[in-house]
Amino acid sequence: MHLFQVVPDGFFKPLTSKNKATYVDCLLSIYNTYRSELSFGVDKEVIIEVLERYFDEQPAAELVFDEDETEVASDSRAKANAILRRLRESGWIEFETANDYKTKVNLFDYSATLIESFNRMIRNEETEYQSLVSQIHATLVNQEGYAKPYEYIIKRVHENTEELMIGLKKLNSSIKKHIEAITHEKSAAEIVQDFFVYHKDIGSKAYHRIKTSDNISYFRNTILDRLSTILHDEAVFNRAIQGCREIEQLPDELAASRFLRERILGVMTAFRNYDEIIAEIDFKHTRYMGSAVARAKFLLSNTNNAEGKITRILALMADGFNAEPDVDLKTDATPQLLAIFNIFPQTFLDNESLHTVPISRKMAVPEVLGDSLGLSDEERALRRLAVQERSRRRFSHKNINLEVTSRLAVGQSSLASSWPLESRHDLIRLIFVSLYGRDRKSIYTIKPLDNTVSIHGFQFRDFLIERNQ
């Protein structure tokens, strides 16, 4: 069945209007009024009084509806009646005339279900993992329930297991939300405050409990053993099939048997995969704690050591760029900043390197080799020349040394500005000359100079290239 076969087409219209916050508050007030009643039906005047009190407590303002801009409600009673009218039109409530000719406001069952979900989200109720696991365990060990195994055992165990897994997934998502929060632009004070909120609501409550008192490992073996017994005990399984077919309205015993096995095996799989979920929660918890501390430490770094000085320099540069949104990042910075940062060779690669080597897992079926496979001698010679030319033009350490050797004799020197600079290829070659000149394995060294030169539109700080003795 589709959702809009249950709820009317305009059901969500109040929640998308500009008065959506007011509609939600009124729905929660109406729902709370039904708590002391025997059904979701209350006298209309009682509902009106509840909504009037709500609007009396709000700042005095006219309520204009999106659907009809000409309808304006000024006083609290007019606002209450207008809200009820809109909720009735949208399919949240209905009016019913009782035997005493009083009008009752009835809340539809699907409306009550959704409003109760609103309540849970607002209260941010935490799943009681221990109570769910203990209920599953107690249900499975209760011998009296095996008289009707599907009704008394399997159905309840399946529902409680789903609720348990949903609770763990919500905890997993909430940790991810905190990780994403500290990656946004926040001050050190906000990060520290968020850290203590996380520690109170998750670290000391949900996370701590699933690692200690709510740990399901104590019950898991018994739960898995009892579920396996139901699967393999023919008498119990046949009784369960009959109950499953009757309750779930399945056409025959074969369909009921498949449905029943899927549910039991699904519960068993969930408990076997519990360790993987907890491992991911552990990883995210550790990651959040480390990220929050590192982020706060970075923002609070204000010492006179190298780390503190670099932090202040970067912060000042970021403030400068943010203060001038139209600044061209390609424009050269001030000479003072250019003197601070320079190119240096990377001497080794390790696991901390930025580049991740891609690993291909795609398995392709090899093609059948044809009879005409192969290259002629002329084609092979052309390919070899092309490869040699590409190798000659590469900016490798060997090629740069050969370039310097061809231009400078032993003990000679020249300015970088005297080298040809007609294209981007020439400029990139000079960059690599500067980079490799800092390596002790090179046959030359470079000496940076203070003057800046501009040649054919390329601007850079000049440097002296000296061939080693």
Return the domain boundaries, the chain.
Answer: 3-122, 126-288, 386-467
High-pLDDT (> 90) share of the chain, %: 1
Instruction: Give me the pLDDT at residue 411, please.
Output: 84
What mean pLDDT, rounded, does the chain reach?
76
Instruction: Give me the pLDDT at residue 61, please.
Output: 67
Instruction: Give me the pLDDT at residue 204, please.
Output: 46
Question: How far is residue 169 CA from its own chain's centroid?
Answer: 12
Q: Are residues 308 and 199 in contact, defined by beta-carbon separation less than 8 angstroms?
A: no
Q: Strand 458-467 to strand 93-97: parallel, antiparallel, or no bridges (unpaired)?
A: unpaired
pTM over 0.75: no
The fold for domain 3-122 equals: Arc Repressor Mutant, subunit A (1.10.10)
One digit per residue, the tens of pLDDT, for the chain of length 469 reads 678 878 888 888 888 888 888 888 888 888 888 776 655 577 888 888 888 888 888 876 666 665 555 566 677 888 888 888 888 888 988 888 777 777 888 888 888 888 888 877 776 555 556 667 778 888 888 888 888 888 889 998 998 888 888 777 777 666 666 656 655 656 666 666 666 665 555 554 555 566 665 567 778 888 888 899 888 888 989 999 888 888 888 888 899 899 999 999 988 988 888 778 777 777 777 776 667 666 666 666 555 666 666 667 776 766 666 666 665 554 555 666 656 555 455 555 566 655 565 666 666 677 776 666 667 778 888 888 888 777 777 778 888 888 888 888 888 889 988 888 888 778 888 888 888 888 877 889 888 888 888 888 888 888 899 998 7
**Around Cβ 388, how many Cβ atoms within 10 Å?**
10
